[in-house]
Amino acid sequence: MLRRRPLVQLGAVVALAAIVVVAAILISGGDDDEQAASPTPGTSGEPAVNEEVAKLYDGIPQQGIDLGRKSAPATMVEIADLQCPFCADYSRTALPAIVRDYVRPGKLRYELHFRSFLGRDSVRAAGAAAEAARQDRMYQFADVFYRNQGPENSDYADADFMRMVASQVEGLDVDKVVAAADDPLSRPAVKEGEQFARNLGSTSTPDFYIRKGGVLTPLQVQGTAPEDYAKALDAALGGT
């Protein structure tokens, strides 16, 4: 027959363990129901979630402008402008392979800074990206933006465009993204992205660096094909 005291002890242990487990689940971000509770794109004439983009980034840790594990031995830093057509080419052709082969397995962390030096649409886009970063969805937002990029400085990045892009990113609060595009300079990240590029003496986009052991050095890429980036990264990561 069980004695009363062990039962009381067990009850206390179970209660304490339950509290710790619930706290751990909350710290881990839960099951993302808050994001899933956002209005579902596609239900009111808006575009559906871009599944290809969602799949590319699904499950990879993302915090602000950072993508990938904090424990990665090195960080690839990109400076881009959402209006830049070369950045869009890179995003479509090389970045998916880098995410799949280096970031997802934890070999590399990715840090993406948007500057806004190509014109009004750049500034609006950087504001929207800053809000997407605040919601930890910047990489998906940028990917969809690039896929729909318009002619440079044609004022295409208006509220309707931002709404169309943001609607294709699962869990993104569309209204906040549109509001950020309308008031981009209220977002410190917009100025910080530009300042980051200037401090490095970066004059063109996309521009790439590798941060390893706290030291930031330019990433030497000979070419624009995915294998060119793989070669450069393998050389830069050698010995990690």
Partner 1 sequence: MTLRRVTAALALVGIAIAGYLTWVHYAGLEAVCVGGGGGCERVQSSRWAELAGVPVAVLGLGGYVLILASLALPEELGAQAAAFLSLVGFGFSAWLTYVEIEKIEAICQWCVASAVIMTALALVSVARVLRDAPPAARAA
Count of positions on this chain that bind partner 1 (CB under 8 A)? 36
Q: What minimum distance in Å lies between the beta carbon of 105 and partner 1?
A: 6
* 89 backbone φψ class: left, alpha, beta (φ>0; ψ -120 to 50): alpha
Q: What are phi and psi of 66, to 5 degrees?
A: -105, 140
Q: What is the DSSP letter of 102?
A: I
Contact between 222 and 104 under an 8 Å Cβ cutoff? The reply is no
Q: Which two tokens stand for residue 38?
A: 């956002």
Q: What minimum distance in Å lies between the beta carbon of 5 and partner 1?
A: 10
Interface map 19-38 toward partner 1 (x if CB under 8 A): -xx--xx-xxx-xx------
Of 71-110, binders to partner 1 (CB under 8 A) are 71-73, 104-107
Q: Looking at beta carbons only, is 72 or 181 nearer to partner 1?
A: 72
Sheet (strand 74-80) strand order: 62-63, 66-67, 109-114, 74-80, 207-212, 215-218
9 binds partner 1 (CB under 8 A): yes
Q: Interface residues with partner 1 (CB under 8 A)? A: 1-3, 6-7, 9-10, 13-14, 16-18, 20-21, 24-25, 27-29, 31-32, 58-62, 69-73, 104-107, 240
